[in-house]
Structure 1
């Protein structure tokens, strides 16, 4: 990749997210830290970026003296899931110019989240980024009243207001439905017509993935031959229950499925692969697998194709939206931003035998 192309991509990312980190650019561009620093130096010299510790931020109007940079503190309430580590890193990217963050961790317990939010607001945070434990379909009793009672702006992260996302709260989330569609479309392009989805989660994100799955089956005309194993069959806890891999592989053999689309605990993929091998089922020759999330999929044998949400970008966009609301509370109407995930193809899919 030529230097001019790299710098154009860096600037485009900064314009989208407001900030870029050296670490993420090294990964995204596939170049060394030295090369990234050199590119950032050039963009700083062109007066389009300002350097900060660990990266750079988009040069804003504040550089011309017309608007002060955000220097306040925001509260962030996220679940314990490893998934949100990268969301928090995206928030940090945006706050690198001078803002601060107070992080609170929940256990997917809405009452606990209420308590944490009250503590953060009492401590003086200017706004809140929140991953509320709510379903996609209906708000729990008292939830809307709690939102209305808050004295600071709120942006939901990887969630929408229940009931279709309508209301008075901005949100930024992964377009999970599109991620599911991309996975199913890839498998059908290879010739698969009997696809089994494994989806244990009970979160709103899980609901969106399953919604995308069902829509994909209808669009692609394979609903009759495909099915889903959900929390009822596999449990909804943070880890697979003992025997979960047997439940899945028994269903594969019973239904004649030639492909799996797995959403939930990514580490369970290793158990599925071992179970398949013990039954003499080879991946991908006899069974193709696509995972949702991409933390460990590349390290399986064979490496597993995966839908990869851009969690860092979700966090960055949510932080920028919140800062806009803090600076101008009338910045309405609420925005519902969806970030497209990527499908990363590896050696776990092939045409059915």
Structure 2
């Protein structure tokens, strides 16, 4: 096949799909990857398409805010509910401003399922991919080559993988969860609490929370106790109640009237059980939760660290879209700071409190 014929077929495929990948063109045209890349370079120089990492997009989809654009962005996340629902909404809002659309894949925090979802989303012909992997930064050694095998631009969300776990540097946008932990502990310290108990669930966020806790322990005049008890998010069965009681007993033994709990659901259940045992919240037990998805709906509204979930989705999507527009841009590592939303569960320390933990 001569070059003009290849160019015509490439443009015909581009009009049909909106985005082309080099590997697909190699199979379709029956030529080498070098030949395909040379064809794309020539068509790009002629203004007939826009080259991007791993392939090409149409020039009409590259402009900002073009209505009716064929540009499609993939987004793969561990969950479409709770925390990530706001992240997805933020990415969707930003995509809409650029005239683009999102294609969603959900891994369910399953590594094998994630690979399948990535392949399906890429199979749609997306121009780029937003991804929050099932593996967290603390498990980066298990990452294998799943990111490096993707042949479209990638922006990581809430992940910050780097060498040697990956072959190349990736753009990422993440919440500074270490700062979030320090924000909560600094607030406790400002209220006069000096002995603080902490309960973290086995989540990918815990990796960064521990870093913030370590920093706070050395920077603030406080004593910290990190509990090994696995708190239940719900349930009144004997095993769940025993776990809650065990943590409250740890607080009593440690002399703590302040607890930081990850996440909202666990904090809400802890408050309910503490009140069932006769404790007053916040007078006898002050609670700060982490995530702020359902914290305000607890029986006692929970003071909570609130990651900028919606803004994270917006920022990551805009970063990817700008990269697709420019064709080449410096890799960016962006950190967004969470806020602390003050509610009833964490009030000021009173001069004289009666310790009801033995009730």
TM-score by length of 2: 0.72
| Structure 1 stretches of 4+ moved >4 Å | 162-167, 237-241
Alignment of 1:232-271 (within 5 A): 233-234=229-230, 242-243=240-241, 244-264=243-263, 266-271=264-269
Contact 2:193 2:349 in 1 (8 A): yes
- Among 277, 281, 284, which residue is 1:283 paired with? 281
Q: Does 1:197 align with 2:198?
A: yes
Segments of structure 2 that go 5 or more residues without pairing to the other structure are 1-58, 354-359
- Residues 327 and 348 of structure 1, relative CA distance in 2, 3 Å threshold: same
Q: Deviations over 1:76-109 (max 9, x none)?
A: 1111241000001101111123101100111111
Name the count of aligned residue pairs. 280
Matches within 5 A, 1:132-281: 132-137=133-138, 139-141=140-142, 143=144, 145-161=145-161, 167-203=168-204, 205-222=205-222, 225-230=223-228, 233-234=229-230, 242-243=240-241, 244-264=243-263, 266-281=264-279
Q: Gapped runs of 5+ residues in structure 1? A: 1-61
Corresponding residue for 2:109? 108
Question: Shift in Å at residue 154 of structure 1?
Answer: 0.6
Q: What is the TM-score with the length of structure 1 in the denominator?
A: 0.73
* SS of corresponding position for 1:257: coil
Q: Does 1:330 align with 2:359?
A: no
- Aligned counterparts of 1:271 and 1:112: Cα–Cα separation in 2: 31
Shift of 1:227: 0.8
- Secondary structure of the 2:287 match is strand
> 1:79 aligns to what?
78
Cα distance 1:239–1:338, how it changes in 2: closer, same or farther (>3 A)? farther
CA distance in 2, matches of 1:122, 1:344: 41
The aligned counterpart of 1:15 is: none
2:347 equivalent to 1:347: no
Q: Identify if the C-alpha distance between structure 1 residues 326 and 285 changes in structure 2 by more than 3 Å, giving closer, same or farther.
A: same
Contact 2:162 2:170 survives alignment (8 Å):
no
Partner of 1:40: none
Q: In the superposition, relative to structure 1, how do residues 191 and 94 fare at CA in structure 2: closer, same or farther (>3 Å)? A: same
Q: Which has the larger radius of gyration?
A: 2
